[in-house]
Structures are given as C-alpha cells and as structure tokens.
Structure 1
Amino acid sequence: MRVLLVDDEPLARQRAARLLAELDNITVVGEASNAEQAISEFERCRPDALLLDISMPGMNGIELAKRLGEYDPAPAVVFCTAYDEYAVAAFDTHALGYLLKPIQRDKLAAVFSRLSRLNQAQLSALAALSEDTTSSGPRQQLCISSAQGMTLLPVSAVRYFYADNKYVSAVHPEGELLLDESLKELEDEFADQFIRVHRNALVALVYLQGIERVGVGGYRVRLQGMSDGPHISRRHLPAVRARLSARA
C-alpha cells in the first residue's frame, strides 16, 4: 500500500514514516506539510491512503479529506491528531481510521492491516458515501470504539447483528465489532436492510442466500461471504422463507 504523509510538524512526519517503515507492504511515497502541498503530492503520486493530521494552518485535515474525496478513485484516509474532539467530524468524511498522537505502533499496524484488506473498488465506494453526510435516512457507516481506537464500519459490509447478553456485535467477513446500541434500535433504523431471524439476530437481506437445516428441527441462514449464519427461530422462520420466495 502506497501512503502519503500529511502533517505540518516535521518531527511527527518523521515518527510516522519510521513506524510505517516497520510494517509489511507499506511504502511512504510522499510527504506534505499543508493541504496545498498534499493536493499537489496526491496528484503526483496517487497514493492508496493518507495518514493525515487534522489541525494544520490553512485548510485543515477534515476539509482536505472532503476535497480528496472528490477524486476518482479517492484515497483511504487515516486521521492522526492530538485532539480527540475531532472524532465525530473526522468520521463524517468517512475516514477509515482515527489515531491519537503520539501514534502507537500497534494501533497504527491494526489500522493499516484493516486497510490492506480493502480493495480499490471498496475504497472508492466508501469515499463516494461522503456525498451523503447530510442525509436524514439510516446511517451508512457505524462509528465504533474498539481496542484499536475509533473504527468506521460500512453498514453495507455487515452480514448480521448478533446480541449476546448485554452486548451486540456487528459481524462482517473480517470479524466482528461490539456496538453500543441495542438490537431493537438497529432493527428500527435499518428495517429496510435487515430482517429479524431470531430474538438475538438481524440478518442483512442483501447477503441472505438461503436456509439450511441444523440438527433435528433446527434452521439457520446461509449468508454470502460467511461460513456460518445465525440460527432462525420457529417464530421468524415463515418471514425468512417469505423473503426468499419473493426473490424467486
């Protein structure tokens, strides 16, 4: 992955470059100290991703991210900043990572490992979502606090939501992330995209491929991109079958 560093502090750029050099399959292809230089460098080397400071003189990092989001293909953006109050505004640009300074190597590695698993078509699709930040409809991204910091997960990547006691997880092909929302809240917001299959599970309709038997009298959903899907309760089995029949 080819990365452009953008930070008005030379020492911060040096530290970031040193940490990125320790990661596999990462190459720093340019540096910039402000937004104007960053745009010029981006057009010159067309990096896959930016490690971007937020607080800079002139155009700040958030404004720059929105500007670069107009390019096709748009780069992935990982913000780094000394101020955590920028988190919500940063994710409004559909950044794929958010790191606090001083950057920690393990968190930097976790963010870029996640980016390396996204192909260019996915990155472009995520960047295109930045045009819809004023929409009053359901969210297109889930902003999640995890051990790796703040994470942005596209709703379109979620195969199913699963409740286990007090916790709800968003399950996707690369793993799962814990949410701070109830299954009922998610069901209400994403009623057109997910279907209830069990009291503890909502499944993405777009990935619903079929039903398979489990044991004696049990059923579970078959989902695209997943080896196992959640179980279907007897109460919700007719609705799931009706959805599948409607597609036939």
Structure 2
Amino acid sequence: MSTGLRVLVVEDESSTRAELAGQLAEQPSVGEVQSAAGGDEAVRLLGEGTFDAAFLDIAMPGLTGIDVARILRRLSHPPAIVFVTAYDNHAVEAFGLGAVDYLLKPFRPERLAEAVARIGRRRSGPAPAGDKADDLAVVQVELAGRTVFVRRDDIAYAEAHGDYVRLHSGRHSHLLRQSLTYLEEVWDAAGFVRAHRSFLVNLASIT
C-alpha cells in the first residue's frame, strides 16, 4: 500500500512558505510536508532523506530555485519539481530542467491541486494504453484555404487566442477552435504542461 507524498517546500518568504505548506498538507495525497527557508537548507534536507516532490521558489538569496533544481537532477531518484514564482520569464528554463509544473503567484487552490495530481501520476508511472493521451493526437486545421493535419507531437506550444488556440509548430502556426483548458486536459498525459494562463508547452520540444 503506497503512502502519501513526501513534499519539500523551499521559499524564503516566511508567510508564503507557511501558506503553501499548509495548503499542501490539506491535499489528500500528501502525507508529509517539510519546509526550507532557502536553497542551502533545502540541500541539507535533501541529503537527509528522500522526497517525492519539491516546490521551489525561484528568486531567493544564495542558491536560487533554479540552482536547487540543477542539484536535484543529479540525484539517483530526484523528486518531481514544481516551481512557484511571481514571474513567468523562467518557464522555458524551468521545464528544460524537468519541472512537472510552473505555478504563478498568486495561484488558485485548484491549480495547486492540479500540480499535486500531476506529481501523483508521475509517481504511479506511465499512463495506460487507451488513455486520454490518444485524444487529438492529430488535429485538423485550415492553412491557406485548405485542410491540413498537424501531429500533436510536432506542436511546440499552444497559445490562447480568444475563442481559439494558436498551435505553434516549427515555422508555422495554426488556429484551432478549441479551448486551452480542454487541450490541457486531453494532452496532459502526452507531456503538455500549462506554463502560464495563456500557454501550454510541449515538454518534448524543449532542448
């Protein structure tokens, strides 16, 4: 029988750290939450035990969240990384370091729940065949007055565009009459992550 997730919160602002730790402790799948006031303390705690997930602030004195993430990648069994920050300009670098989610402050409780659920799926292993990852594996779009088909795996990122979503693949972009929220739901298991309220990023496209 699996135990709850063991989570580490790394945040230099004491009130934010306490609030995030408290919200995580309320998640049904979380079994234990420990906190660190900075990167140095986080590294010490990581050396004393294993964690299933680390929620990292980015802008901190000393070791930043990005620095801690680089250290985590060297572990034989690294925890899932979730960045929690007020800035969206680190998203590409964050996902390049293997982050499973990127939460922008202030975040809604349901966004935190989504991040925890994503960690749980990662811990459980790959999705079974026939999962929603197969939905919209190929999308039909209009290009220069003709219908073309675009493979989901060729899409680098999707951008909210009014009632549509603009799909970016290589040198081309295509409008799809669909909501970004729906694409996030059906493409989550295929490695697409909501990096911002307006962007859905294909992790496989980040090198």
For 2:167, the equivalent position in structure 1 comes to 180
Rounded to whole Å, the distance in 1 between the matches of 2:151 and 2:84 is 26
CA distance in 2, matches of 1:116, 1:71: 19
Aligned position for 1:32: 36
Alpha carbons of 1:16 and 1:181: their partners in 2 closer, same or farther (altered >3 Å)? same
**Structure 2: segments with no counterpart, 5+ residues:** 127-132, 143-148, 154-164, 173-207
Identity %: 35
Give me the whole-angstrom Cα distance separating, in 2, the residues matched to 1:120 and 1:61. Answer: 25
Alignment pair present for 1:112 and 2:116 = yes
Q: Which residue matches 2:97?
A: 93
Over 3 Å counting, the alpha-carbon distance change for 1:12 and 1:43 in structure 2 is: same
SS in 1 for 2:77: coil
**2:70 maps to 1:66:** yes
Q: Give distance in 1, aligned partners of 2:150 and 2:12.
A: 40
The TM-score normalised by the length of structure 2 is 0.62
CA distance in 2, matches of 1:48, 1:58: 24
* 2:24 and 2:33 in contact (8 A); partners too: no
* AA in 1 matched with 2:11: D
TM-score of the aligned structures, taking structure 1 as reference length: 0.52
Is the Cα–Cα contact under 8 Å of residues 169 and 179 in structure 1 kept in the other structure? no
Distance of 1:112 and 1:170 partners within structure 2: 25
Counterpart of 1:46 in structure 2 is: 50
Give the superposition deviation at 1:118. Answer: 1.5
CA distance in 2 between partners of 1:55 and 1:39 (Å): 16
Q: Tell me the distance in 2 between the aligned counterparts of 1:28 and 1:69.
A: 22
Instruction: Give structure 1 stretches of 5+ with no counterpart.
Output: 123-157, 172-177, 186-248
State the aligned residue count.
148
Select the structure of larger CA radius of gyration: 1
CA RMSD of aligned residues (A): 3.2
CA spacing shift, 1:65–1:10, aligned 2, 3 Å: same
Q: 1:72 to 1:179 in 2, by over 3 A?
A: farther
Task: For 1:68 and 1:62, locate their aligned partners in 2 and report how far apart those are by CA, in whole Å.
Answer: 10
In the alignment, the residues of structure 2 paired with residue 18 and residue 28 of structure 1 have an alpha-carbon distance, to the nearest angstrom, of 11
Greater relative contact order (CA < 8 Å, ≥ 6 in sequence): 2
Q: Which residue of 2 aligns with 1:206?
A: none
Aligned counterparts, 1:1-248, within 5 A: 1-119=5-123, 161-165=137-141, 170=152, 180-182=167-169
| Moved segments of 4+, more than 6 Å | none
